[in-house]
Amino acid sequence: MTAFDTTRRHLLKGIALATLGYLAKDYLAIAPALAGDLAFNDSEEFEETYHIFVPYIPARRGGKQNLILRSGETVEISIPRRTTEGRQLVLEKAGLEGNDITIVCHTLYDREIRIADRIYEEIENTSFLQDASKSKCKMVYEQIEEARYISDLTALGLLDYVIDSSKLEDEVKDRYLLASTNSRLLGIQQAIDFTLATSSLSQKEKKQIWGTFAYVRAKDPIPNFKTLKDLDSIVAASELPSEIKNFYTISSANSRGLTVNLILVKAISESSRLTEIEKEGYLAIYQLVRDGKPISEEVAPLLQDLDEFILNADIPKNAKVVYSVTRQGDVSDSKDLSENIASFLQTVRDTNTLKEDIQDTYTTGANLVPQTTRFLSSIGAETATGVSLSSLSGAAATNATLATLGGGSVAAGGLGMLGGLAVATGGAARVHPSYAISKNAYP
């Protein structure tokens, strides 16, 4: 490389840094705070929220219910008499770092709407159901209302279809769907409980696994990759149906991705090797990579520098792997993800171990996504633009599958796994906007 080439490259890099730094001001204002508050919960401002489903009887009469916290502790909640949909409860100083926690209640109990009567009537009036199927649907609904795990997913799916295809109001459908979803989540919780009860793990290790499950259930960043891997193994080795295992895996990947994002933002923001202008530029171009947006020629010189910085940063290897895969997974090009990964593996400049980890990460995703795509296609799921997933193939189907799943992080005001599984098991993104609960959602 000549002196002219070197000077030209530095000039282009400087222009790119200045441009990206200017464009990224809004992003930079929140990124460092997120890196601390959500990933590691070390801020007094961190708002710890949980969404729970309250069975009919406790909601009507009052009662007690257990809740697993992100700390791994289990607390007993007092459910007030006549608890209504969306009611918020506050437990003072019960959360991480002694913070208060907010509990948002969901229930099928409703004195005005009388949801059970409406659903029984709908079952009776469904012409394609035989009497035996009608009786089974009613029995399944009673179990859902009581917050019990239903292992007969065929019967549960039939009732889901009856309700979703009915003329019931969206509010009733959405509340039913969250309750139906809760019964599936109880299966995951029972599988974890059974495994830990028969394991030789210490109480501390068990609490870490339960706490990690609370993070994954909320689709929030997780504090420990190793514990997440242990939790993944427990669910994978369980006897849960593949439908539920698949969704858990997607939720786990979601939490892992959020964590990696915050780790990388923090690594850049707090680096002593970078100038403030370089930090701004790196963060801005990282945001483009993360969001799958095209990289212009003007800022392309920064991309290799960012790659080098992340591959040599003192961060967990998992974060480097996920970044590397994301770096090659630009959805704007016509290549399949496998082609991008294969191409990248030829140019990785890190250790052979990193290459193996990247390949393992891709293999896991490659095995999971087609299964999930087939499942979503079979239930008639659609993309945000109304295109049926069953009509897509290749990279388009993969991208649509990943975009379709998910209920939004609880920390960002969503329903977490409760909402995500509702979408994945037949809701077709029908969760009502009023359930995207924030701290000001209810008086």
429, 384 contact by CB (below 8 A): yes
Regions in the chain scoring below 70 on pLDDT: 1-46, 325, 328-407, 422-443
How much is the pLDDT for 428?
A: 36
Residue 120 belongs to a domain: yes
What pLDDT sits at residue 398?
Answer: 54
Smallest CA-to-CA distance from 86 within 112, 115, 106 is with 106
Question: What's the pLDDT score for residue 431?
Answer: 37
Q: Is residue 410 included in any domain, yes or no?
A: yes
What pLDDT score does 47 carry?
77
For residue 87, tell me if it sits in a domain: yes
Report pLDDT digits (tens) over 156-172. Answer: 989 998 998 888 998 99
Which phi and psi angles does 247 have, rounded to 5°?
-70, -40
In this prediction the pTM is: 0.71
- Write down the pLDDT at residue 256: 80
Q: Are 219 and 420 in contact (CB under 8 A)?
A: yes
Domain count, the chain: 1
Q: What is the DSSP letter of 55?
A: P
Domain housing 118: 48-254+406-435
Q: Flag whether 440 is in a domain.
A: no
Residue at 175 is within a domain: yes
> Does 205 fall in a domain?
yes
| Residue 269 within a domain | no
Cα distances (Å, whole numbers) of residue 264 to 66, 261, 330 = 35, 5, 18
* Residue 96: half-sphere exposure toward Cβ, Cα within 13 Å: 23
pLDDT of residue 277: 87
- Kindly calculate the radius of gyration of the chain based on its CA atoms and give it in whole angstroms: 24
pLDDT of residue 19: 36
What pLDDT does 229 receive?
A: 87
Q: How high is the pLDDT of residue 412?
A: 73
Q: Would you state the pLDDT for residue 13? A: 43
Tell me, what's the pLDDT at 16?
Answer: 40
DSSP for 184-224, please give it. HHHHHHHHHHHHHHTS---HHHHHHHHHHHHHHHTT---S-
Q: Tell me, what's the pLDDT at 78? A: 96
Q: Which pLDDT tens digit goes with each residue over 424-438? A: 554 433 333 333 333
Q: Which residues contact 15 (CB under 8 A, 6 or more apart)?
A: 298
Would residue 296 count as lying in a domain?
no
